[in-house]
Structure 1
Amino acid sequence: MAISAPQQELPNPPRPPKQRAPQSLSARLRQPRILLAAALLMVIGAGSGILVGHMANSEPAAHLGAAAVVPGGLARVNGVIPLESDGWLPVDAAAVLMEPVPAGSHLVRVELELTAMDAQGIAFSADDYTILGLGSDRLDVLWASPEVAEARQGSVVSATLVYEIPNTAVALTLEGEHGGRLALGTAHHLPER
């Protein structure tokens, strides 16, 4: 009697992987993940373009002590001094300067000098000058002396402007309504109280 070996089953030969038919670009974009990623990239690109375009269109701020061109001449910030540091108050101080300053901010006086270079001279109005900073609102002047002035060619207007600014050391600029951006530096910032 012949003994036969048990038959071994042979494994199935490997099957080649199924190949998908190539999808068109529009079919691939219908997939939610790809559509979301494409939309996100478009939003980031548009935001970056707007930011870069805005920064390219704004004039750079003149450093503290340097002059910036304004209609009729030049403007320069000669100092930014916290009122708390030297106790200065004007003789005719407005009530707003006597009130307590909210936590997280302090009062500064900005010493602004305008030099009339053009034949028509230069006109100054304190209300035309505001402080702007990254992530902060436009800050209006609280008190000024003089409030309004004009200077003929070759003359200078020296003005003192008082603002309430945040304590955080952000890049602040004094900006005129008709041009001129003047950096205020960071030495005037006070630590949190």
Structure 2
Amino acid sequence: MNMSNKKLLLLAGDFTEDYETMVPFQALTMLGYEVHAVCPEKKSGDSVKTAIHDFEGDQTYTEKPGHNFALNYDFDKVQVDDYAGLVIPGGRGPEYLRLNERVIEIVQAFNNAGKPIASVCHGAQILAAAGVLEGRECSAYPACGPDVKMAGGRYMDIPVDQAHVQGNLVTAPAWPAHPAWLSAFAKLLGAEISI
């Protein structure tokens, strides 16, 4: 496993999707990465509330209270050069995190450096706001397809359990894609997984 840079950044906010935050944090930590989970205006030791989005046959997902997710690093201390990659969970967090100038700067810096970026579900709202989708292919929750298109990207309508990779971007529709999405992200990071 290429572990020359063992740090990853995970951008979270209140009502981030529970699985899309907890599972990547735990899985990437299990691979030996130090994952810094941060949120604007919050510090290490603070937490964000999560929401559980499920697919129960309604016209859209349902939302239920999730766990409290503990942050382990100060947002104000983030230096992009310290990290090998970026994780952007979905949920309701992205719709307001994209209003934060520093969040946008961070995403642009990761992209400009060609570092791997893993975005799932509504995370595409942040990618779109950061202007990094022009001419790019991006999967997301279907309701975010218009955001991708308006940002000049090509929305990839793929099965909910699949992921799409283009260059440094690994994107997926929702948490059922975790095995494919996290595996593709780990490969971009240079991690070797043998089962």
What band does the TM-score fall into relative to the shorter chain? under 0.3
TM-score by length of 1: 0.23
Structure with the higher helix share, 1 or 2: 2
Which of the two has higher C-alpha Rg?
A: 1
Structure with the higher strand share, 1 or 2: 1
